[in-house]
């Protein structure tokens, strides 16, 4: 890493030869690139998680938005079938409904089998499994619409329970929302920690070079000229750290997403990163560099103002 | 910019104390005119360095008035200090070379700070280092130079940008008499080009070598001026010493 940031200094080489060589830049860096690398890696991972969660929530809610489920909960199988048929017939007439379909009883049985622990030979029929009717609306399942469907269903089927599908997942969405806030908070904390690290490093560097800074002041050097040296040094450190951090973060994300993809579950399958998300992630090191340089500049200028 | 005849420095009842101690400088009043050559003498601890620090804006006085290049230096806002400092070349008593820079880069520093292009730096700096006898040691760090060599680098750095005023604190303290004389000739030639020169020294022989110089004497923080040459200095055209006082 030290090599990387000193290489970057080399590239600058003669290009900026007119810049006054005032302070020994190599001595400014120390552990700074590593600190930045860790911060960037963690920010990248936190941001990727936040974005993936957002995408998962969006995919899931798009699927569920127009979905309403009607359950017919009654113990008598014949009555259950009658009410289900009545509800299907009634709801087909509603203008906001795009499609109504009763979930086949065999499908239901296979669905509940692993949960109820039934084996071949067990009398699944004897269990009061509700009839399920899947309703697709033309628009989102708002409370008003659900109420309207309920008003249509209950007169013909007294044991019908009408719920928006999104409503079932409300706790999951709430959890995802919380996790997103957590990711955002984590990123904010990482930014604060970066600022603090840069601030301390800059103050430290200022202390080490106080003598030289005084001389440069006496020779007519301006605060901005001196600050520029620190900024540039910080920019190189942050660039080296940012690159390594980004690399590490991306490798982590890709590895994690492969493992999640292996789970093959519906909700997780939605947790992918789009190309726009990758742009955001690629911008993180740039934002880190900007933050570090700006912090260094303000720290140095503030300290210099206290000198004569 | 100052008028040709206007004073370059004016001290009026200046006092300086460090912290709450007694005054190191008290009631210091004098005027320096452009193009003159001044010596500042006085025993060790008399306050020479302190007075020069006020002159090159490294220190603010605790009382009194200081005008520099026709501007009130006490109320000078911070952002205007660099512009003033670039017009003053300083040879510090302790050299104050930048350790991590080569002799060449040390001498080039005032030019780089002033934004002179690298093209216009190489030749003058090389020539100046040749002049002070360090042409073959340009790329050496100060730490590996002798005291006298460091002093010469410090002098080269102070004069490289052709300042309006040169302030030198014991600039020949570490060199042999021949080199001292040579450096003095450098100051004189700069003086002839219009630079006001202020040299603090104990060395009476050195002072005698510049017959047209004016002498300020510090005694325990007070400026003694028996001839009135400082309160009523000569006009710029006749910088011939205390014998030609001219009222303000
Ligand atoms: N930064 C400081 N803080 C406190 N006292 C100081 C400081 N600098 C100088 N002094 C005191 O001020 C007095 C004058 O010091 P100064 O360096 O101006 O003397 P000088 O005439 O230059 O002496 P020398 O010929 O030995 O260089 C001394 O008594 C010294 O102790
Ligand atoms: Mg002194």
Count of helices and strands (H, E) across chain B: 7, 10
Compute the distance between CA of residue B165 and CA of residue B36 in angstroms, rounded to an integer: 10
Answer whether residue A66 is part of any domain. Answer: no
pLDDT tens digits, one per residue of B4-24: 457 899 999 999 998 888 899
Domain boundary among the residues A130, A158, A186 is at A158
A252 at the B interface (CB within 8 A)?
A: no
Measured distance CA(B40)–CA(B200) in Å, rounded: 4
Whether A17 sits inside 8 A of B118 (CB atoms) is yes
Q: Is residue A138 part of a domain?
A: yes
Question: What mean pLDDT is predicted for residues B102-113?
Answer: 93
Residues A263, A296: one domain? yes
For residue B120, being part of any structural domain is answered with no
Q: Which domain holds residue B209?
A: 1-85+202-248
The answer for residues whose C-beta is within 8 angstroms of residue A118's C-beta and 6 or more apart is A112, A124, A127
Residue A6: what pLDDT?
Answer: 55
What CATH number corresponds to the domain at position B50?
Answer: 3.40.50.300
- Strands across the sheet containing B25-32: B25-32, B9-16, B63-68, B71-72
Q: Are residues A255 and A291 in the same domain?
A: yes
In this predicted model, what pLDDT tens digit does every residue of B231-246 receive, in sequence order?
555 554 444 444 333 3
Report pLDDT for B229. 60
Domain total in chain B: 1
Q: Cα angle at A294 between A293 and A296, to 5 degrees?
A: 65
In a domain, B127, yes or no: no
- Range(s) of the domain holding residue A144: 74-158
Nearest to A219 among B60, B105, B109 (CB): B109
Domain-embedded: residue B215: yes
Q: What secondary structure letter does DSSP report for A134?
A: E
Look up residue A74 and give its two tokens.
């009654």
Contact predicate B14/B61, CB 8 Å: yes
In a domain, A163, yes or no: no
Q: Count up the domains in chain A and report the number.
A: 2
Q: Are residues A118 and A197 in the same domain?
A: no
Touching check for B94 and chain A: CB below 8 Å?
A: no
Residue B169 or residue A170, greater confidence: B169
Give the minimum alpha-carbon distance from B106 to chain A in angstroms, rounded to a whole number. 9
Q: What pLDDT, on the 0 to 100 scale, is given for residue B230?
A: 63
Q: Within a domain: residue B58?
A: yes
CB pairs under 8 A between A and B: 67
Which residue stretches of chain A are H helix? Answer: 2-12, 26-29, 32-65, 77-92, 105-116, 143-156, 165-168, 170-208, 210-218, 223-263, 266-269, 275-305
Count the neighbouring beta carbons within 10 Å of the beta carbon of residue B47.
24
pLDDT at B97: 95
B68 CA to chain A: closest CA distance, Å? 15
Task: Report the C-alpha gap between B248 and B225 in whole angstroms.
Answer: 16
pLDDT of residue B2: 44
CB A84 within 8 A of CB A131: yes
Mean residue pLDDT of chain B comes to 86
Query: In terms of domains, do A40 and A177 share one?
Result: yes
Asked if residue A68 is part of any domain, the answer here is no
In this prediction, residue A53 carries a pLDDT of: 87
Q: With an 8 Å Cβ cutoff, are A215 and B96 in contact?
A: yes
pLDDT recorded at residue A20: 47
State whether A256 and A292 are in the same domain: yes
Alpha-carbon distance B23 to nearest alpha carbon in chain A (angstroms): 20
Are both A153 and A193 inside the same structural domain?
no
Q: What is the mean pLDDT of each run of 10 residues along chain A (308 residues)?
A: 55 40 58 92 94 85 79 83 87 86 78 65 64 84 85 86 79 86 94 94 89 92 90 90 95 88 66 88 95 94 89
Q: Are residues A175 and A275 in the same domain?
A: yes
**For A153-179, what is the HEC assignment?**
HHHHCCCEEEEEHHHHCHHHHHHHHHH
pLDDT for A5 equals 57
> Does some domain include residue A166?
no
B111: in domain? no
pTM: predicted TM-score of the whole model, two decimal places: 0.76
Residue B242, pLDDT score: 40
Quick check: is B176 in a domain? Answer: no
Which is more confident, B248 or B189?
B189
Structure tokens, B65? 């008035």
Domain's final residue, options A137, A158, A179:
A158
CB contact set of A20 (below 8 Å; sequence gap of 6+): A216, A221, A225, B109, B112, B113
With CB atoms and an 8 Å threshold, state whether B112 touches A24. Answer: no
Residue indicated by tokens 């070079």: A209
Hey, which residues does A135 pair with through a beta bridge? A68, A100
Quick check: is B98 in a domain?
A: no
- Assess B101–A contact: CB distance below 8 Å, yes or no: yes
> What does DSSP say about strands B9-16 and B25-32: parallel, antiparallel, or unpaired?
antiparallel
Measured between beta carbons, the chain A residues lying within 8 angstroms of B90 are 218-219
Q: Which of A125, A158, A191 is the last residue of a domain?
A: A158
Q: Does residue B189 sit within a domain?
A: no
Residues A222 and A272 in one domain: yes
From CA B195, how far away is CA B188, in angstroms rounded?
A: 9
Question: How many angstroms does the Cα of residue B233 sit away from the middle of ligand 2?
Answer: 25
Does residue A281 belong to any structural domain of this protein?
yes
**Is B96–A21 a contact, with Cβ atoms under 8 angstroms apart?**
no
In a domain, A69, yes or no: no
- Together in a domain, A42 and A179: yes
A276 and A139, same structural domain? no
């Amino acid at each position: 890493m030290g090599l990387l940031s000193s290489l970057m200094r080399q590239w600058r080489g003669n290009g900026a030869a007119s810049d006054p060589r005032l302070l020994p830049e190599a001595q400014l860096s120390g552990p700074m690139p590593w600190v930045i690398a860790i911060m960037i890696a963690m920010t990248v991972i936190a941001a990727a998680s936040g974005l993936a969660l957002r995408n998962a929530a969006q995919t899931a809610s798009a699927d569920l938005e127009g979905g309403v489920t009607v359950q017919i909960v009654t113990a008598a199988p014949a009555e259950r079938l009658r009410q289900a048929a009545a509800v299907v017939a009634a709801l087909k007439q509603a203008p906001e409904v795009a499609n109504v379909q009763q979930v086949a009883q065999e499908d239901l049985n296979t669905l509940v089998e692993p949960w109820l622990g039934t084996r071949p030979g067990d009398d699944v029929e004897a269990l009061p499994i509700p009839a399920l009717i899947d309703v697709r609306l033309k628009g989102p399942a708002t409370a008003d619409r659900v109420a309207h469907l309920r008003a249509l269903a209950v007169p013909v089927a007294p044991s019908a329970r009408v719920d928006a599908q999104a409503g079932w997942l409300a706790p999951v969405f709430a959890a995802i929302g919380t996790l997103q806030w957590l990711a955002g908070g984590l990123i904010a904390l990482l930014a604060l920690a970066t600022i603090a690290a840069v601030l301390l490093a800059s103050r430290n560097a200022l202390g080490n070079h106080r003598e030289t800074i005084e001389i440069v002041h006496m020779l007519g050097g301006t605060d901005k000229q001196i600050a520029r040296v620190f900024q540039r040094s910080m920019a190189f450190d942050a660039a080296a750290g940012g690159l390594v951090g980004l690399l590490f973060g991306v490798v982590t994300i890709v590895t994690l997403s492969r493992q999640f993809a292996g789970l093959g579950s519906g909700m997780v399958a939605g947790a992918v990163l789009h190309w726009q998300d990758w742009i955001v992630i690629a911008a993180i090191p740039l934002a880190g560099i900007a933050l570090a340089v700006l912090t260094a500049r303000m720290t140095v200028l503030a300290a210099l103002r206290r000198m004569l | 910019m100052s008028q040709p005849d206007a004073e370059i420095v004016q001290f009026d009842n200046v006092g300086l104390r460090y912290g709450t101690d007694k005054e190191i400088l008290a009631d210091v009043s004098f005027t320096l005119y452009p193009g003159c050559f001044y010596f500042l003498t006085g025993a060790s601890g008399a306050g020479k360095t302190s007075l020069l620090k006020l002159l090159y804006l490294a220190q603010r006085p605790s009382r009194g008035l200081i005008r520099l290049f026709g501007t009130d230096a006490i109320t000078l806002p911070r952002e205007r200090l660099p512009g003033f400092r670039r017009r003053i070349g300083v040879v510090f008593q302790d050299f104050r070379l930048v350790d991590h820079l080569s002799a060449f880069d040390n001498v080039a520093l005032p030019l780089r700070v002033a934004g002179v292009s690298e093209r216009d730096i190489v030749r003058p700096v090389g020539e100046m280092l040749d002049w002070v006898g360090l042409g073959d040691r340009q790329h050496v760090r100060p730490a590996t130079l002798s005291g006298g060599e460091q002093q010469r680098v410090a002098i080269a750095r102070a004069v490289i940008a052709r300042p309006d005023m040169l302030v030198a604190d014991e600039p020949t303290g570490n060199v042999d008499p021949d080199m001292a004389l040579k450096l003095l000739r450098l100051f004189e030639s700069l003086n002839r080009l219009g630079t006001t020169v202020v040299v603090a020294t104990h060395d009476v022989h050195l002072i005698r070598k510049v017959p047209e110089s004016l002498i300020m004497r510090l005694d325990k923080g007070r400026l003694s001026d028996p001839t009135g040459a400082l309160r009523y200095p000569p006009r710029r055209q006749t910088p011939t010493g205390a014998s030609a006082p001219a009222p303000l």
